[in-house]
Amino acid sequence: MITLTVDLDIRSYPIFIGSGLLDKTHLLREAITGSSAFIVTNETVAPLYLQTVQALLTGIRHEAVCLPDGEAYKTIETLDIIYTALLKGHYDRSTTLIALGGGVIGDMTGFVAATYQRGVNFVQIPTTLLAQVDSSVGGKTGVNHPLGKNMIGAFHQPRAVIIDTQTLDTLPDRELSAGIAEIIKYGLINDAPFFKWLEEHMDALLDRDSDSLAYAIEQSCRNKAHIVAADEKESGFRAILNLGHTFGHAIETGVGYGTWLHGEAVACGMYMAASMSANMGWLEQSALNRIRMLLHRARLPTTPPTALTPDRFRSLMSVDKKVIDGHMRLVLLRGIGQAEIVTDFDPDALERVLHNKVVA
């Protein structure tokens, strides 16, 4: 087992990574401070792992709520199901919530933890690759609004993140690829050696080689923990993690939540950001080719949905949270491992990407 720490003073917490961690009672029990716990999961994950987690809670008052599966349910309405179950069960401020599932479950459970009775503790047990390498770490919580992705939310750090790599055995191939998109992101942002490692080990990752997956998860969490510790509430530097996300959120909102997986939209968004960087003369053609090749090997899309017109794309991008005082901020690439946050980009380079005239 590997233990990383997200270093945030009194809000610091451990990330445990290993195989079979859902059998280790003490990891979860040490993160529970009160005498009750409440599990939030979904109909896909519950049959696989709910009993295992419940067995860890012997002697603690607990129950579980099971939600429908998918990004389409990451809404205010679904939050109310959780609030109501907590209140009906008389769970008080000392309760610890447990998010058992992927990014949607983690984001919603974290937001309920941030807002139920003005804040309770929670623990992340991510069961998808995307949640393990990205959304379970860093304290971003929230839900979507029909007009924009993740528009309602709060920063609320978990007490612990427990990553059992065995849960990936049951993950569908499409979700595995979606998680790999966020892993590739860390290489693109500031870790060129990791990008190279991914080029060398992509086949092993797709074959679910356990050592390769464990290393990719560890390296991703290490990168993320480092960036979050430097800028918890995204006053500046943390925004670098949004590479591909302004494009990606526009795709997700534009085609309807759940049609594209988040990781798929981010993959396409990263390639659009890379293409725009190439259009501006920032990124060499050879680097752009390597990025496209790696995304394709990971079975990820690089072409935006044809249904989204440039006008609609631009309008969706303009409501993203990365817009400050009317100025859109984008994360672009000077090279592989050299991302930069930019506000004074060339609008023509953006237009060419929106019109699908990407350098390819």
Footprint on this chain of its own copies (rule: CB under 8 A): 34-36, 76, 79-80, 83-84, 87-88, 90, 92-94, 114-119, 140, 142, 145, 147-148, 151-155, 233-234, 318-319, 321, 323-326
Q: Which residue has the tokens 């259009």?
A: 279
Of the listed 121, 242, 322, 352, which one is catalytic? 242
Active-site residue, 284 included = no
Determine contact, residues 127/101, Cβ cutoff 8 Å: yes
Q: By three-state DSSP, how is residue 292 classified?
A: helix
> Which residues, 6 or more positions from 187, have their beta carbon under 8 angstroms from its beta carbon?
194, 195, 196, 197, 198, 336, 337
From the CB of 61, what's the least distance to its own copies, in Å? 9
Catalytic residue among 74, 249, 322, 352: 249
Q: Is 185 a catalytic residue?
A: no
Q: Which is nearer to its own copies, 14 or 34 (CB)?
A: 34
- Cβ distance to its own copies smaller for residue 114 or 180: 114
CA–CA gap between residue 76 and residue 74 (Å, rounded): 7
For residues 18 and 110, which CB has a smaller minimum distance to its own copies in the complex? 110
Residue in 62, 71, 74, 182 annotated catalytic: 182
- Please state at what angle helix 192-206 crosses helix 285-297, rounded to 10 degrees: 30
What's the min distance (Å) between Cβ of 261 and its own copies? 22
Question: Is 264 annotated in the active site?
Answer: no
Q: Which of 62, 185, 262, 322 is catalytic?
A: 262
In whole angstroms, give the CA distance from residue 20 to residue 128: 15
**Tokens at residue 217, please?**
């998860």
Closest contact distance (angstroms) between CB of 88 and its own copies is: 7
Tell me if residue 140 is catalytic: yes
Nearest-approach distance from CB 214 to its own copies, in angstroms: 31
Least Å distance, CB 151 to its own copies, is 6
Task: Select which of 238, 264, 322, 352 is catalytic.
Answer: 238
Minimum CB separation of residue 114 from its own copies in Å reads 6
CB 194 within 8 A of CB 186: yes
Q: Which member of 26, 88, 90, 118 is catalytic?
A: 118
Residue placing its CB nearer to its own copies in the complex, 4 or 67 = 67
- At closest approach, how far in Å is the CB of 101 from its own copies? 21
- Kindly tell me the sign of the dihedral angle through the C-alpha atoms of 131, 136, 142, 147: negative
Decide whether 83 or 226 has the Cβ nearer to its own copies: 83
Active site residue 249: yes
Bridging pattern class, strands 140-145 and 121-126? unpaired
For residues 186-211, one letter each, b for 16 or more C-beta atoms within 10 angstroms of the residue's C-beta and e for the rest, the string is bbbbbbeebbebbeebbeebbeeeee
- What distance in Å separates the CA atoms of residue 349 and residue 275, rounded to the nearest whole number? 9
Closer CB to its own copies, residue 281 or residue 326? 326
**199 included as an active-site residue:** no
163 forms beta bridges with 17
62, 140, 322, 352: the catalytic one is 140
Strands 13-18, 36-42: pairing is unpaired
- Rounded Cα gap, residues 329 and 321, in angstroms: 9
| Cβ nearer to its own copies, comparing 69 with 234 | 234
User: Among this protein's residues, is 224 annotated catalytic?
Assistant: yes
Active site residue 61: no
**Alpha carbons 27 and 21: distance in angstroms, whole number:** 8
- Which residues are annotated as catalytic? 118, 140, 182, 224, 234, 238, 242, 245, 249, 262
